[in-house]
Amino acid sequence: MESVSFIMTCHVYFLAVGHCRSSTVIQVLCVQNAGHFTVLVSNSLKSHAEYQVLSAALCLIGNICRALRSQVLPYCDDIMAVLLEKLSSSTLHQSLKPQILSLFGDVAIAVGPRFTKHIHSVLHQLSEISSPCAAMSDKMTEEFQNELWQGCLDAYTGIMQVLIDDKDCLVDDVLLILSHVPLIIIIITLSSVNISHSDIKIASCSELIGNLCTAFGAEILPLVDTEAIHKLLTVGRHSKITKTKALASLATKNIKELKGGSSWTDGGQANLRSAAYEALMEFVKNSPRDCYVWVQRTTMIILEWLQHVLALVGHIQSSFDRAQNNGLLSLRTTLQSMLRRMTLEDAPKISDAVVAAVLQMFSSSSGRAGGGVQEDALMTASALVEVLGDKFVNYMDAFRPFLAIGLKNHAECQVCSAAAGLISDICRALGSQVLPFCDDFMKMLLENLGNNNLHRSVKPQILSVFGDIALAIGPEFKKFLEIVLQTLAQASVAYVDKPDYEMVEYLNDLREACLEAYTGIVQGLKGDQIAPNADVQLLLPHVPHIISFISSIAIDSDHSDTNIASSAGLIGDLCTAFGVHMLPLVDTEPISELLSQGRHSKTTRTKTLASWATKEIKKLKGSASW
């Protein structure tokens, strides 16, 4: 009875506390009785072992702290003594530990700087409970691990808030917290594994991250490794709760420190230099719109440092210099992220400097082993094309020789693949303005397809580029039509050994590339007008083979969902281009079954294209009946 009575008392008081903020009378009563209930809670925690009683008592402490805030100060020492004693008790029910850990955060936020006297004791408990070994214990269920990490996050968040609010905080306390930062990062890392499943956990991670940044700024960088920084700065972007302003504020204040990381003498340890630039990259990705000025400023700093690094490439002598240079070259990927955040108005203002840096990357890497620099240069150029659009045409003459170098780098398939990808980006951005460069592009792409030394993984991408070129130049693609159609006809009948799953995946990629190329050619020759351009009739003799190719995909049980989507899109395009002439070719069981699969797909794109192709076929049937 006593246990039940106590729980009911807690419940009644909880209702009263819940109205504190809106009722002055009730608030006064709660303050007057806080001492009585605190004593009641303390005694119950000491004398009771029943789970329900203890849980209710802990819940009441949290409610008192959240409602009365600093007015709970007279009872803080008693509350903390009981909580710490209970947490270290071997008889405590395991499931109550997260609740006690969360209460540390509630008490800290309630009493503010006066909590500093308890920081050492609390951190000692957190260090033991949240250590990697304890957190990974096989005896714990995944649910309990999540609850435990949540409790640790709540506790750390409260402690960090105390340090932020306490301007006179002792240096020893700050250093003690700094010594726990790697542990905090471990908790964030572990907690973010299933972060999409818990908005509460996301909010706690985001708040803790903001507090860490505000309290310590760039000083935290030397204490964590690359993965830790990555988690620290990216965990918030999965949240519906926007916490990026705290991160952007830190970046604005400490851009010099982060940039200075490139010259840290211990920058090679724990990948610190790369981590510093990765931090910048993540700040840019996640910064809110009102921090765009910072993005502009940082982009120019990164460009300045990239040019400085490239000037050193030719003077690398020692292994230390080389290691330092490799770390600094992570600036390239940082620059790519920043370019994608630039507006259409600002991109042209920095494009000359970016192009100069990219061309210098190519020049410095010529004749050297390893294609990493060339690949990054091409990817940086792709990012620039993305933001400049058709204005990139001004740089085509300067880029063309280096693009050829990339396409001819058969020994390093990543470089060749990046070059092919850049051509696709250029075609989409420039449209018909790419025509003067197409003869060179097509010559090199066709040569690559016939080169047995080029890794097969690049060839599907090259076939896809044909479709992008056709879309860009439209009817002007006629002069390349025959050779491209012959190439696609050969690729579309490729066969692989079924038990080899890697080859099955490659076959699907090859088919996907053929479908994309055919689609680009049909759309390019047909034009954008309602009435198809007469040039599309040049494809008519090849349509039976195209439909036969799609049918072979339909009857292959290993086809992919993207194969279905692209096949459906191509069927729809052929129907709109050739009208009723298509009906005998597409009104077949394999095609009908393929479109049926597409309409029932869980992928929106596949479902949409399959439904559209089905409607186009129905239109043809309606026209034929007349």
DSSP labels, 14-53: HHHHHTTTT-HHHHHHHHHHHHHHHHHHHHHHHH---HHH
Tokens of 190: 């572990």
Query: Residues 606, 565: contact at Cβ < 8 Å?
Result: yes
Residue 224: its pLDDT value, please? 42
pLDDT in tens, 52-62: 777 777 777 78
Residue 221 makes CB contacts below 8 A (sequence gap 6+) with 229, 257, 258, 261, 272, 275, 276, 279
Closest to 21 (Cα-Cα) out of 68, 63, 60: 68
Tokens of 248: 């952007």
Q: Which amino acid is at 261?
A: G
- State the virtual CA torsion across 441, 447, 452, 457 in degrees, nearest 10: 20
Residue 57: its pLDDT value, please? 75
CA–CA separation, 460 vs 488, rounded Å? 10
User: Which range, 8-12, 317-321, 582-586, is most confident?
Assistant: 582-586
Residue with the larger pLDDT of the pair 386 and 43: 386
Mean pLDDT of the chain, nearest integer: 75
Q: What are phi and psi of 559, to 5 degrees?
A: -65, 155
Closest to 608 (Cα-Cα) out of 564, 556, 557: 564
Burial class (CB in 10 A: 0-12, 13-18, 19+), 261: buried
Among 30-44, 236-250, 497-511, name the one with the lowest average pLDDT: 236-250
pLDDT class for 4, splitting at 50, 70, 90?
very low
Gyration radius of the chain over CA positions: 32
> Would you give the DSSP letter of residue 532?
P
pLDDT in tens, 151-200: 887 887 787 777 666 655 554 555 556 555 555 554 554 444 444 444 44
Domain boundaries, the chain: 489-626
Tokens of 159: 């402690």
pLDDT class for 517, splitting at 50, 70, 90?
very high
CA–CA separation, 291 vs 253, rounded Å? 12
pLDDT in tens, 430-456: 999 999 999 999 999 999 999 988 999
User: Which range, 286-290, 300-304, 359-363, 419-423, is most confident?
Assistant: 419-423
Query: Residues 382, 424: contact at Cβ < 8 Å?
Result: no
> Would you give the DSSP letter of residue 292?
H
CA–CA separation, 568 vs 575, rounded Å? 11
Produce one character per residue of 390-411: b if its CB has 16 or more CB atoms within 10 Å, e if not. Answer: ebbbebeeebeebbebbbbbbe
Q: Is the pLDDT of residue 216 over 70?
A: no
Residue 299: its pLDDT value, please? 81
Closest to 357 (Cα-Cα) out of 423, 304, 278, 393: 304
Residue 159: its pLDDT value, please? 78
CA–CA separation, 132 vs 119, rounded Å? 21
CA–CA separation, 293 vs 305, rounded Å? 19
Gap between the terminal Cα atoms of the chain: 87
Tell me the average pLDDT across 63-78: 76
pLDDT in tens, 361-397: 777 766 555 556 788 889 889 999 999 999 999 999 9
Residue 286: its pLDDT value, please? 61
Among 112-121, 323-332, 390-399, name the one with the lowest average pLDDT: 323-332
Residue 368: its pLDDT value, please? 57
Element (H, E) at 410: none
Residue 468: its pLDDT value, please? 97
Q: How far is CA 413 from CA 406, 459, 585, in A?
A: 9, 10, 39
Residue 303 makes CB contacts below 8 A (sequence gap 6+) with 335, 350, 353, 354, 357
User: Which range, 38-42, 304-308, 351-355, 574-578, is most confident?
Assistant: 574-578
Residue 269: its pLDDT value, please? 42
Tell me the average pLDDT across 214-240: 45
Residue 33: its pLDDT value, please? 55
Query: Residues 180, 123: contact at Cβ < 8 Å?
Result: yes
pLDDT class for 49, splitting at 50, 70, 90?
low
Q: Is the pLDDT of residue 217 over 80?
A: no
Q: What are phi and psi of 225, to 5 degrees?
A: -95, 180
Closest to 438 (Cα-Cα) out of 411, 409, 475: 475
- Please report the sign of the dihedral spanned by the C-alpha atoms of residue 408, residue 412, residue 418, residue 421: positive
Residue 53: its pLDDT value, please? 72
Q: Where are the alpha helices (DSSP H) in 192-271?
A: 199-216, 226-234, 244-260
